[in-house]
Each structure stands twice: as structure tokens, then as C-alpha cells.
Structure 1
Amino acid sequence: MGDALLASLKAAKSALEAQIVHRPATEHEWTDPDDIPAAPVRPIAPAVPAGDDAVTTLTSIPAVPLDVAMYGDKLCGTCKKLEITKERFFVLPGNKEYGEFSQQDSDITDLGPIAAIGERTSCPLCRLVYVAIGAKMLPTEEDGLAVHASCYWATDGRRDLQSPWINASAIRVLRLYAHTPGNTHLQTQGFVSPQITMLCNDAPEEPYPGALPDVKEYFVRLRKPGSIDFDRVRRWIGLCNKHHTHTCRTNPMLELDAALKGSDHKHPADVLPEFRCIDVARMCLALVPAGTPYAALSYVWGRRSFFCTLRANVKELEQPGSLALLSDHLPQTIQDALCVAREVGQAYLWIDTLCIVQDDNELKGATIKRMDMVYCAADLVIIAAGSPHAYAGIAGVRPGGVAGRPRQAVEQVAPGLRLAANEHWQDGIKDASYYQRGWTLQENYFAWRSLVFINGTVVFRCAGADAWEEHIPESTTEIYAINVQASRAARRAEELNDIGSMEQFMNAYSECILSFGSDLYNAFAGMARQLMVQYNTDLCHGMPTRFFDWHLLWEPQNETHHVRCQGSVATGDGRGPSWSWSGWTGGAVFAHIWDWYTSDIGMVSHAIRKRTWIVWYQRKSHRSSRCTHLVRHMKDHDAEDDSDGSAGHHYGSRNLYGERVKTKHRFPGLDCSRRKPTPVCLSELWPSADHTDDKQPVTWPPKYIPDTLGAHPGSGFLQFWTVSILLQVGEPVKKDVDADRRDGDHVRLGIFGRSGTQISFVYVEPDWVKSQEETNGGGKLPQTREFILLCEARDERAPGNGNPDKHKKGWKYAMMMLEWVTPGAGGKHSGQNQRWSQGQIGPRQDGEAPVGAWSAYAERVAIACIGFGDLGEALGDGPVWKEIILG
């Protein structure tokens, strides 16, 4: 080590040690640099090239461990009934399954209670079943009944690339499942069905007549014991580099983004002023130019803080060897990711906490908004899916590391016939916190080529190969990516015209877990940018403004509840408004235009113009009366059109989609001429609840988390005119024909009109029911509630999945049940708002009663539908044209 470099490292060490702000320096002892040997950095070598002989994937099969068979082993009486022979694992001419798709081909054999199977230690198949089904993690009883394991013979084979859920019948497997008597599937386990099949080592040298020539590809091969076989990983990357040139070298999302924006920006360095990666060989940060290949790490942080890059230390971290000196201060998952990058020949690795300057808000914000590009442009994404937090490490990366690697389950059931569990990497997803986190959702989505570390093993995924696993030989079809490019291109075109693809962004992200509410929109920023670019839409608090009226009809699923902002702090409670999925937590939401109408965006775009009438405005702020049109995607529209309607095209009389609203024909007898928002300043409606000092935060009305996703953010409060009706809600008297489709613990209430007849249903969350016990008459039913009409929609599919526009019977008015909000009696210090079943915009005047008759804004409670002819069932004065502020 040169004197100059050593001096630089010593200086960097001193500066960095003083700047470790997230962990106490006393927790670690620094080793003097003079005592540190040269950093153990392997030379960065390219991934093993794939020569013509590289496609022969079974040439280097590891030997079976000598201790597979135990003295005294023999199949128990139950397992003998399965008639296991080597030939039975092949589908041959003359078998009824030959030439067919994969299927069950035997009766189910009950192997007995799991507790009893675990005691049959001399039966090799029972031992294998016990491990494969994960019996140690399962209860021995469920609902007072013993848990059993059963199996049956089934077939497996080559996947259909066009329909990857369909397999040809080439081999047989023993498929396992856990259940209680009566074949009730075990709830604890879910629907994982592990399989057992033969080791490819034991396939006969002379294949059986008629067996597929590549049949060995479908059996199980041995994994390297102790640690991951990086020779195999490099082989995978080499095969992809050679044979998947047209499918895996460029992420189509980058191509589309560049094409739509008329640019050639396909690398983060093209758009970010400082794009840094870790130089893996020199163990330091480095600014990399556009076009530089790099890998990226996707992992779960966890709640324990750790070292990160700051403006004060970034220069020191750019000194060669600086990260080697800091190795004790880096979480194990990050250290293991560096080992992975080194093993597979990646010269640069991007890791968020080190490569983003965490206290540079401008640069950090710009990078967060480009997370889609960071992961799309990565040559390889290292996904630590099996690591629950940053300190857990990556299992199997290093022999003897903090994260161990489980031994492969292999048993010998007869001389020369050994069986192994044919595990699938997806079986570990349900237990992996990685797949439940908000930040990692988009990182995994954008990864075009990835190494997924899960269950102590590694999986290589790319556009040409769904998943190459250590214990499964690579198929010739996936090695050469046969027909993959055309099929993926066709699917990509379909996705861009599929409104379900747009909705899945919201559906998937809404159920993810975030450690900090403030990350709500940041963790979605990359997906949001892709959604905005690909589907030509703006966002308003995470909701696409394109087809906004129909997107409002999303439904909360199991355990999903509205977070009611109380206005107790300046930023609310870290959630969005009630009308958006971002205002709800605890579970998923289900946006499903594709289900009740169609997935074709063209058809949706045409139909929604004629089935909506609300002219949507968003309020700019609480201390301003200014409102702006929510529309941002209409041609020639002035983005700064104010509520005075002075902009061109007279959008004050049109819905979001350019259609001139014709409410007098839809709602005869109502004066629906008013559409522009009434100037009102929310913070002045209740002066006693507002702040008196400009330096103090506004606590009434509550502020939602800042809308960092939308191109034109506002307050999140919508202001508009529509039809309002009063109806009663109470215990239902009619059966819900759609009850089996409802998910979760929401409470079903009936909706009743002036005739006393039940005209519909509404599903409300348990939290809302509980809140009614404290207000509104103690929650007694029935209650008179206010509903507003949103649009025309369907709550069922057209018969036979036909054209929904030709089936008029299914069309109804979609409506929202409201709850009006006023500040509590104690103003901003009370911490509680008052909620009312009815209300309207404006303050309560002295002497007026009841208090709920004059409120400030309304929130969503639930969505329901009524028939067009049911407007006459409205209570009180009947339907009225009314102005609403919705928060």
C-alpha cells in the first residue's frame, strides 16, 4: 500500500468516523489501517462467456452426498402403496397422459397426520415429505382437527411460453398438500403445493423408448452444499448475454419512455446531475457517465438505522478503499451484495443509502422520482428477497456467513433411485417481507434482469427465462429464448391498451407496508412516472385523472380502513384524502374498471365521455379560494385555467373528457346550471380553529401528505357540483347475490328509500361503524345519510361478458356515501373533529341548529349503486343539485 494512499485512507477514516450520525461510534472498534491487509477484492472478471457447448446444462452434476441413505431405511407401509419405480417418473407412449397437458393422474393418498409422519424416521420418503411440506412450520392441529399430509401423482414438463401456467406432460411428480380430515385445505399453509421427483443423476443412460429427448431438464439436480454456486450463476448470465441479445439487453420501458418524450435518455446519468455507483474493485463511490453498465441492489431497510452518504462525507467516500475501511459500519446485506457483484463480474453497484446523498433534498428528490430509470437501466438487479432487513445478510453468499443456507432435501428410496423436493422459489414469497414492502414493489417491477436471493438459494430471471433455479436444469427453450421476443412485444402492446394494467399499479401498491407514512408517494414515484408516461395521464394524489370518475369507484378489501385526518399536525397523519386509495391503509384496494366494463382503453375512453357530468376542480390551498380544473390531459387545455372560466374551450361546461354536460336531460326538473366553484377560503370558515401566527402550522382543515406525484399538485380537496340525495341505511332485508365476491370484514347495510323498500346495499368498514357509536345518535340504525351521484357505471358484468354498452339493464348511478366534518369543540387543540351525516359548505351561524347543517367539507365513507329509476326514492325534498368540497 503506497504512502500517499495510506495517508489518504487514514484521513478518510478519521473524517468518516466522526460523521457516522446514525449509529454510536462506541459500538465499534476501529482497526488501525496498518494492521489491515490489502482489501480482499477479487479482480472484476466478465461473466463466463457462453460458448456453443454452454447450452449443455447437465454436464457437471454434483455427486450425491454419501450420507443420503441411512442404515435400516425402508419405505413404510403407506409409502409402499405409491408404487415408486424409476420408470414411473417418465411419461411414455401408451400412457394416457402422453401428449397431453400436465394433470393429476392418480388418486390421492393420505400419508397420515403430520405428527405421525415426523415420527417415521426410518422411512426415507416420510422424511422427505416432512421436510418438503414444511411440517416444522405447520401446526399439528387446525380448528381442533389433526393436520394431515397427502400426495398424488401428477405430470409436469415444458412450459408454454404464451401461457406459462400450462405445462406439457413429460415427467411425473408427487404433489403434496396439507389438509384436515375431509380434504379441507390448510389455511395456515395457503395454497403452496410442493413437489417431489427424481434426481436427474439417476435418469438411465439409455432413455426409455418414446421419452422426450430433453426429459432430464424436468428432474431435480443437486445444489452446491454450504454456499451458492456462483460458477452456475455466471453461466446463467453468460447464456443470457449470448442468446438473449434482443430480449434482455434493453428494457422496453426505457425505450417507450424515451420515444414518448422524444429523447434518447436511457441511463440515469442522462438526467441526474450526480449519478454515483460503488466502484466494486476500488471500494469507493464514483460518478459514472451515461452508458456505464451497473448493477443495483433491492432490499428491505428495516427499522434499524445505518451509515449513509451525506454531503459532508461524499468526497471522502470517493477515495479508493474508503468503503473497505467502513465495512464494519455497513449492514451485512450490503456487504453481501458487494460480494455478489464481485462474483458475477459487475464493476459498479448502485445502493440507495450510499449512492444517494441523503441530506441533499434536491438531488435525493430528483433520484426518487427516477427510481424507475435507476432499476430499468440496471444491467442486473440483486434482489435480497429473503433478507427481512439490512442486517440479516444474504443467505448462501458466503460460507459460514451470518445468513446460513439450508441443506437440500434428498433421500434414497431404492438403490440408484434418489428423490428430491422440487421446490419453487415462489413458494417463499408469502413469508418474505420483501414482497410486502412499498419501496421494493417498484424496484422488483422494473428489474429486467435480476438475481433473486430467497430461501437460501438464488434465482436468475430475465426476459428470456422466467426463472433459472439452482436445482432445476435450464430448458433449451429458455436458453435460446425461442419465440419470446415476439410474445413479449405483443403483450407489451396489449398492456398499453389495457386499463387493468393501469389499475394494477394502485391495487398492488395500496396493500404494501411502509415504515414511515411520509414515504407514501416517494415509494410510488417510479411507478407513478411510468403510469403517467405510458398511459398519458396526470395523477392527483395517486389517482389517474384520465378516467377519473370511474377510477373513484375502487373498493376497499379485507381490513382496509380510512385514516381519518384529525388536523392535529401540519402534515395530517401521513396519508391522502378519503376519495383516493392513498387515504386508506391496512389492506388492498380493488380498482376494477376492466372487470365491470372492459379492459380496452379505447372503449373506456369513448364510453366515459357520455356517462359523466361532474366538472371537477381541485382547491389550491386552504388559505386561498382559488380552484383549478382537475383535467390536464385534454388537447389545447390551459393548465392554469382558473375557476372564473376565462380559459378557452369553455371547460366550465364540460366534464373531464371534453363532453359537454347535459344534466338537464339526465336530471329533468333540477336546475343543474351551476358548475363553477363558489369562492370560499376553508381556513376562514372556522376562524377559531385556524392558526393566529403565520409561523404556526395550519391545523384546520387537515393537510394531507404533499402530492409529490402530480404535475399540478393542489390541496387534495375537490370542489364540484352534483346531485345529492338522502337515503336511509339499516339492517339489510334482502340477500346480496354478490356476497361471495366481497372480501374481508366490512359490514353490509341495506339502503332504503321513501317507500321503505330496500333498493341497494352499501359496505362500510368496521372502524366507521365504531365511530358512529360515539356520534350520530350513538350509531343506532336506521340512519338517514347523504349520498352524491358520481357517474353512470355498472356493478356487474354484462351477461356472457358481452358488450356492456348493449346491455342497458346493468347500468346504474354510482354514488358515494358522505360524512361531513367540522372541527371539534376545542378547536385545533381538541385533537378530534366532529362528523355529521348531513352538511354543506359554510360556517354555522350563531343561533342556527343543528350544528351539522353547516359544515366545512365531506369525506368518503363508501361507494354504492342505485338504479336510474330509484332517484324518486330520495327522502326529504328529493334530489337536489348541490356543491360539495370533498377531502
Structure 2
Amino acid sequence: MPDSLCEQCSKIPFRPFFQGTGYRHYYSDNEIALGTLERIWAECFCHFCGLIKHTLGIHYGKNSVEKLLRSNVTPTVFMYCVPLDQAYDGFQRPIQDISHYVDFGLYGISKDASAAFYAEGLARIGFAVRSNPQVIALRDIDATESSQPMHFGRTVDPSEIEWSMIKDWIASCLSKHHNTKLTSAGYDSQQPHQLELRVIDVSQSCIVTIPPRTQYVALSYVWGRDQALKLKRNNLTLLSAEGCFDSEGLRPSRTIMDGMRVVQQLGYRYLWVDALCIIQDDAENIQANITRMGQIYSEAFFTIAAAAGTDADFGLPGVSPECPRSLKQKSVTVQGLTIANRLHPNVDYTYWNKRGWTYQERMLSPRLLTFTPSHITYRCDMGCNQDEQFYTHDGAHFTAIDMTFKLQFEAHNIFEVYAIAVTQYTKRVITNPMDKIKAFEGVLDLLRHPFESPFFFGLPVSMFHMGLLWMPLGRCRRGDKRFPSWSWAGWEGAVAYDYHETDSNPNLCERTISQCTIRIDKTNIDLSYSSEPRTGNASCTENEDRWTRHFDEETCEVYYKDSKRESQLYRYPRPLSIVGQETWRLLAKGVTPILRIQGRVAKFRLTGQHSEVVDISDAAKSCKKGQHKQCNLAILDSKGRAAGRVRVDAYTLPKLQNQEHKFLALSRSTLYFHDDVSWDEESKAFRSWVDAPAGGEVRRQEEEYEEYHKPFAEWTAEAPSELDDGHPLLSELLPEIDRSGVYKDDYDGLQENSCSFDAKHYSDKVFWPILNVLLLFEKRGGIVERCGIGQIHVDAFYAIDNEEPILLG
């Protein structure tokens, strides 16, 4: 029977296209135009068009696509082929023998229509779908290896899980890494655990205590609403009786029951689940388990991740009839090739992945068996990567890139590892604000070794002044007051250590030098000292014989290596400050969160004026549209000139604007991580500001221009009646030109000011021209709180500053 294809699709050479050959000969840029979305959606007989419709409908939502079709938009659909395995360049076979997937792009959609299209996905499934929908070629299991390319695709049976296949995944993983430590958690996960735990014995269907060095599986899931059955002091004896969980009145939540079935099916015996393995009304037992939560998941043989549903009663799709898998896979056969839509786990966008507690469970588990609504995946932190919709026998394998699966010590220096983890974690939701640090304790416990210090309210003591430089990414309100304002744990909202939220900020620590002395109040614990960079080596300050300085020519990054053998795996952004044992002991006991700071303070004015420095962050884009969440306000000197910028939450503006405020200088910084005016190319180091040549500053022309002095339209932020996602504080959009954004220069015409300060009056050609500052807000009893973070030019700040003692809470 001939293939049922429309005229357009009958011209496509499917087999060469999915094999990665032919397209270079037939088509440029490996793309094919399939016509308009309207044409494809109206096609009733073409098998491939039918698959496209199914794939788009599953990916974006059928109603979303049809709503787009009813608008005046007529997008064109393109198909592209891309190597399926992300590690194809490491294969011994040529690229034309590697299987490819095909994705579909929609073009010709306006920005407004595109935003509405993605908003539909946000309303439907809780996240905006930004990736393209994809189809894959299924493998002909009867064909020989030599007669076909490495097509990995397979049909997923929605009614039955192939347990033998999952056993093969684990066995293959063990065979590859039998003598290798799984390193993402820093523990030797190949050795049975060192803890004495309560676990569920799935063969006896009850709670038991297992001795150290006994293998167990952990469950990571979402509680949602409270669970009916939990371990408590008054039912410990009952739940320890053999067969108790088989009784109708003592059945655990469905997800836990399904987890027990998974452990049995795979041939294991013990399952650790928080609700039934921690005594929920025993504060001492809860604390003992929470403090070792990272170790519990790190030392589990593998972790079952329940990445479907929103509560513990949802279950694991496909494990029991009560929780079936969604039927989302459709296949068609064209030109002798079977093609199906690719099932995307979308784990990053699940409700499970939005919860705060599951972050460390995902990051610290050496192996993760994930149950999505449609299929199962398996990951290990040494690179094993299995997916139920792909064959992996005969030496074939499938490799995806998942930078959030583990802490990337190989790719980043230790402060970047910490900073990225904080950003990822603070984007998640914590039901109880007091759990903000507890749910991150496992990650901090892992990082204590490379940082060689404890963490104080989530900030590393050995790099404390760097830890203070976090900044909000969007809506960020003051949270539980039992956490200090200087810690990200004291705020509700996502934070980062870079305005642009990049994965790394090269030389951030190398070009940031503390300018104040910080001590924990009523103790002798010093956290930071005021210092200056040293000529030829900006950061070596103490214990120098341990450290060797290196420069990466490719990334222009300065990093340090520690001579101690146990630290050789890590890259350091600067030598660590030494943290004494007394500091460890005192912080373990608990001390006041008040910081006593001796530093420089200066007053500047804030109005509604925004800083017009180039900023691609979502916060800046939101302000441009008049929807204010986090605002980059211009910090104005006594003459109304922009001396810097400060990021504050829009809801605090009514309390701040049209007033002078105190700013504390935390640290001094260069403008750029490399190619800065203070950068010495020969020594590959930032020269000290004390070594700046006399008269070396290049100032702007002093002539005045009408365009430059165009007045800025002031506005007043009104206090909102209720909290929403972005309060429209402006009645009209910001003007496109303001005094801090544009100046004229005689020799170069109209210039854009790329600095946070007014570069016509404050030169960007001085050594280390920026001070990282905190906006202070006095609360009570002389204790001030952090209200915002920003940057001020050194010339503007040092012209009016005074040294003051500050109590920061």
C-alpha cells in the first residue's frame, strides 16, 4: 500500500533526512519548509501531516494551536534535522551514521502573538513551552546493525513497564562505574551507607531499622496536602509490625505504595521515605534527619523521583492500574521508516521540580530513576543516560545535556558552583519559610569541604563579602524576619550573583575586594576585612604558599589551585580566607544574626528615575513595559547626576523615593572581568588602584549639549493595594532618553552610556571605579536592614563618605 502523503510531504527524503545524510545535498541549512500551519492543520489524509498535528497539539496544547489559527497570524512550519545524541562527536562512527531527530519551528508569528501563544502553555501546564516539538525515527528491531543507522527510537507501552529493561540500565551503569566513585555528591556512593536509618522493608511491608552499610533506595516526591499516614511516636510500634502496610487502614499514600512496588520489581528490599522513616512529631528525630538529609540521598543506591502529579496520592505513572501513563505517542510509517513524536520528560518544569526540598534530592542523588506522566528516564552522575523511548543495546547509547543534574565542579570554580546552586534553589517554592536553609542544608554540607568553612545563614564564611553580593531577579520581598536581611534566606524570591543571570561571571572574585570589616556582633568571629589588591596579583592575601595562580587563555579566567591533595579536584576564584576551629564551633552552637560592620557610608538621593545602563535582565525588561517588579534606580548625587544604580523591589519605592539614603560600601570592583583599564596583559592580573598613574583618568568633554541635559520626567510610585506579579507604577512608559543614558562627545558623535554612572562626569577610565553598595533602611534600635544592592562610582562616593559603625540585621 503506497504511503498516504500530501504533495508537499511526498517530496521529503525521509530516510536520508533522519540519518543526517542527503540534506546537505538536497537542502541548504538542513531545513525544509512544509507550508503554512493552516494548510497542515486542514490536511486530513496525509500521515506525516497528521503526526505533525499530533506533535504540535501535545507540545503546545491543541486549543492553543487552534486559537493561534483563529487569529490573523499565518505562521510557516519548518522542519530541521539535528543529531539525536548530544555526544555524537565522541562516537567512532561518522556523523551521517548517527540518527537524527527532527523538530518543527513556527515562523511568521508576531511578538504579541508569540507571547500569547506561550502564555496559553503557561496557563495549561504551568510553564511556557519554549522548545520546539520533535519527532524521532523508531528502530527496526528485525534489521541488522549494519543495515541501518543508529536509530534509537522505540515504542513506549502505556499499559506496561518493561522492568527487565530498567534492570539492564542499572546493571550497565554498575558495570561501567563499578570501581569509580559517583562524584556529584562527594560521597563514595558505591559503598553501602554509614548511617543507621529507619526504612520500609518492602518484603515485610513494615518499618525496620537497618544497620550501617546496608543498601537502600530513596524516594523523592511532593507531599502536597498532608498525608493520612505518617510515622509518629504513638504508631511506631504498630508500623513496625510485619505486614502492617497490607492492612486497609494503614496503607501509605499512593506514591509511596508505588515506590514500594518499584523497589520489589527491581529486586531490592529497603525504601527510605521521609513521611514514614522520620518520626513526624519528634523534634529531635526530625532535626537529626534533616541535618543529614544530603547524606541520606547521597548514599542511597538510587533515588526514585516522582515527577508527576502535585501530591503524594498521585502515584507513579504505569506502576499500578490506579495511576496509568498518559497516551501521548503516535507513530506513522512513511517511505518504509516508522516515525513517532518524541516524548519529552520536561522534568525541569514539573511541580516536583518547583519544590524547594526536591532540589537537593535531585542534585545529590548519585542515580535518579524518574517517573514522568508518559515514560521513565534514568541518570547517573557519571554520565549514564537512559530513556524508555530509546534503545540502548548493542553499544548504542543516548546522551542529553542536563546542567542542572549535578553540581558542576568540573565546569565552574567553587564560588560559581555555589552561586548557580543558590539561583536554581531560590527559584523554587518553600511552604514553610523557616525551612529555607534546612532544605538547602545538604548542598551546603557538600560545599563545606571545598570552601573549608561553615555557612552562616547560607553564606560561605571563607568568602563572606562575596556571598553578600546576591541580587534579586524579579519580585523579591522581605520574608521571615527570623532570617537576617543580608541573607538571601531572609527574602522570598529568586536571586543571582550577576545582573544577567549567566552561568558564570569570570573573575568576579578576582576583581572584587572587600572595603569594610565585618564581625558577628557580640562574638570575636571576623567574617571580612577591608583590604587592597596587591600589585601583579589582585587576590593573594594569606596562606600564599598553598596556592598557585592560573590563567585560562580561552576564557580569560583567573583561577587558583590548592596544593592540598584533597582539594585538587576544585578550581578556586581566589585563595580562601582561613576559618579557625573556634569559628566552626561557635557557629554550630548558634550566634546572633547581627553583623557589626566598620565601613564607609555615604548619602545619595533616589527618585523614580531608572538607570538606563544596558541591562538584559527580565527585571529591566519588565520596567521598560511599565510593569515594575525589581527596579534599577539611578542613584543621584547632589547635582542630580547619576552616580550609580541600585536594585530594589518596586513595592518599597513609595518609602524610598525623593529622599536621601545611606549606602554602605561593601567592596570595590573593576568594570569588566578582562580588557579593563586596570588589567595588565603581561601579568594577567588587575593592577592595584594605588598604582594608577597620575593624571591617567580620561574624562569626557565638559561642553554641554541639549540632548544630554534633556530633563527626565519624574514620576511617583503609588503604594499598591495588593501584591501581584508586576504592579504598573507608571502611567506611561519611561522616556527613551534620560540624563544617565545619553551624552554627546565632540570626537565621536552621539554616545550611549554603558555604565551605571554618568560617564560624562564620572570617568569610566579609572582603576577599580565601582563600589558595590548596600542600600540601608533603619528598622529599630539602631539596627539597619539591607533594602537593595547596587554600584556607585568611587569618585562620587569617596567625595562625601564617612566611616561609621553599622549594625546590620
TM-score (norm 1): 0.66
- Long gaps (5+) in structure 1: 1-68, 257-264, 482-487, 564-572, 620-625, 634-654, 660-706, 773-778, 823-854
State the Cα distance separating 1:527 from its structure 2 match: 1.3
Match of 2:363 in 1: 445
Q: Compare 240-249 and 187-196 and name the one that shifted more.
A: 240-249
Asked if the contact 1:105/1:154 (under 8 Å) is kept, the reply is yes
Match of 1:422 in 2: 342
Match of 2:793 in 1: 867
The correspondence of residues 198-347 of structure 1 with structure 2, limited to 5 A, is 198-201=137-140, 215-216=149-150, 218-247=151-180, 253-255=186-188, 269-270=194-195, 274-325=196-247, 329-347=251-269
CA distance in 2, matches of 1:97, 1:224: 37
Asked if the contact 2:280/2:286 (under 8 Å) is kept, the reply is yes
Q: 1:89 aligns with which of 9, 14, 18?
A: 18
Larger Rg: 1
The correspondence of residues 22-101 of structure 1 with structure 2, limited to 5 A, is 74-80=4-10, 83-92=12-21, 96=24
Q: 1:124 aligns with which of 47, 57, 81?
A: 47
Match of 2:804 in 1: 882
Match of 1:105 in 2: 30
Change (3 A) 1:814 1:766: same
Report the AA paired with residue 729 of structure 1: L
State the Cα distance separating 1:729 from its structure 2 match: 1.6
Asked if residue 547 in structure 1 is aligned to residue 469 in structure 2, the reply is no
CA distance in 2, matches of 1:362, 1:309: 14
Report the AA paired with residue 612 of structure 1: S
CA distance in 1, matches of 2:311, 2:520: 40
State the Cα distance separating 1:428 from its structure 2 match: 4.5
Change (3 A) 1:464 1:721: closer
Change (3 A) 1:501 1:597: closer
The correspondence of residues 129-144 of structure 1 with structure 2, limited to 5 A, is 129-133=52-56, 134=58, 135-136=60-61, 139=64, 140-141=66-67
Change (3 A) 1:332 1:739: closer
State the Cα distance separating 1:754 from its structure 2 match: 2.4
Change (3 A) 1:132 1:225: same
Other structure's SS at 2:118 match = coil
Match of 1:812 in 2: 770
Asked if the contact 1:111/1:148 (under 8 Å) is kept, the reply is yes
Q: Compare 278-287 and 173-182 and name the one that shifted more.
A: 173-182
CA distance in 2, matches of 1:187, 1:225: 28
Report the AA paired with residue 313 of structure 1: N
Change (3 A) 1:516 1:423: same
Asked if the contact 2:473/2:618 (under 8 Å) is kept, the reply is no
CA distance in 1, matches of 2:528, 2:300: 32
Other structure's SS at 2:61 match = helix
What's the RMSD between the two structures over aligned residues?
A: 4.0
Asked if the contact 2:465/2:667 (under 8 Å) is kept, the reply is yes
Other structure's SS at 2:667 match = strand
Asked if the contact 1:507/1:589 (under 8 Å) is kept, the reply is yes
State the Cα distance separating 1:788 from its structure 2 match: 1.2
Change (3 A) 1:357 1:719: same
Report the AA paired with residue 757 of structure 1: R
Q: 2:592 aligns with which of 703, 715, 732?
A: 715
- Long gaps (5+) in structure 2: 120-127, 400-404, 530-538, 544-583, 623-628, 688-764
Q: 1:153 aligns with which of 80, 104, 128?
A: 80
Report the AA paired with residue 730 of structure 1: T
Q: 1:612 aligns with which of 514, 519, 524?
A: 514
Other structure's SS at 1:382 match = strand
CA distance in 2, matches of 1:308, 1:466: 35
Asked if the contact 2:464/2:528 (under 8 Å) is kept, the reply is no
Number of equivalent positions? 649
Cα deviation digits, residues 125-167 of structure 1 (max 9, x gap)? 2332223232436624469654857232313144338999xx9
**How high is the sequence identity, in percent, across the aligned residues?**
21
Asked if residue 726 in structure 1 is aligned to residue 603 in structure 2, the reply is yes
The correspondence of residues 655-670 of structure 1 with structure 2, limited to 5 A, is none
The correspondence of residues 268-667 of structure 1 with structure 2, limited to 5 A, is 269-270=194-195, 274-325=196-247, 329-398=251-320, 400-401=321-322, 403-414=323-334, 416-425=336-345, 427-430=346-349, 432-474=350-392, 492=409, 497-563=413-479, 573=480, 576-590=483-497, 604=509, 611-619=513-521, 626-631=522-527
Cα deviation digits, residues 361-404 of structure 1 (max 9, x gap)? 22221111111111111111111012321011111112x32x22
Cα deviation digits, residues 602-659 of structure 1 (max 9, x gap)? x94x776xx224221223xxxxxx34424499xxxxxxxxxxxxxxxxxxxxx99779
Change (3 A) 1:161 1:316: farther
CA distance in 2, matches of 1:251, 1:327: 40
Report the AA paired with residue 359 of structure 2: L
Change (3 A) 1:407 1:537: same
TM-score (norm 2): 0.72
Change (3 A) 1:124 1:859: same
Asked if the contact 1:537/1:632 (under 8 Å) is kept, the reply is no
Report the AA paired with residue 407 of structure 1: L
State the Cα distance separating 1:457 from its structure 2 match: 1.0
Change (3 A) 1:627 1:252: closer
Change (3 A) 1:110 1:117: closer
Match of 1:59 in 2: none
Report the AA paired with residue 242 of structure 1: S
The correspondence of residues 766-845 of structure 1 with structure 2, limited to 5 A, is 766-770=650-654, 772=655, 781-794=657-670, 796-799=672-675, 805-806=686-687, 809-822=767-780
Other structure's SS at 2:661 match = strand
CA distance in 2, matches of 1:75, 1:818: 68
CA distance in 1, matches of 2:304, 2:216: 11
Higher strand share: 2
Report the AA paired with residue 632 of structure 2: R
Change (3 A) 1:817 1:804: farther
State the Cα distance separating 1:204 from its structure 2 match: 5.9
Change (3 A) 1:206 1:284: closer
Change (3 A) 1:459 1:480: closer
Q: 2:132 aligns with which of 179, 193, 196?
A: 193
Report the AA paired with residue 152 of structure 1: M
Other structure's SS at 1:176 match = strand
Change (3 A) 1:534 1:187: same
Asked if the contact 2:352/2:358 (under 8 Å) is kept, the reply is yes
CA distance in 2, matches of 1:416, 1:768: 64
Change (3 A) 1:821 1:150: same
CA distance in 1, matches of 2:40, 2:398: 43
Change (3 A) 1:112 1:491: closer
CA distance in 2, matches of 1:820, 1:560: 19
Asked if the contact 2:602/2:802 (under 8 Å) is kept, the reply is yes
State the Cα distance separating 1:525 from its structure 2 match: 1.6
Other structure's SS at 2:363 match = helix
Cα deviation digits, residues 493-521 of structure 1 (max 9, x gap)? 665x4320122222221121012223222
Q: Compare 376-385 and 361-370 and name the one that shifted more.
A: 361-370
CA distance in 1, matches of 2:617, 2:277: 49
Change (3 A) 1:176 1:498: same
CA distance in 1, matches of 2:25, 2:294: 45
Other structure's SS at 1:727 match = strand
State the Cα distance separating 1:306 from its structure 2 match: 2.3
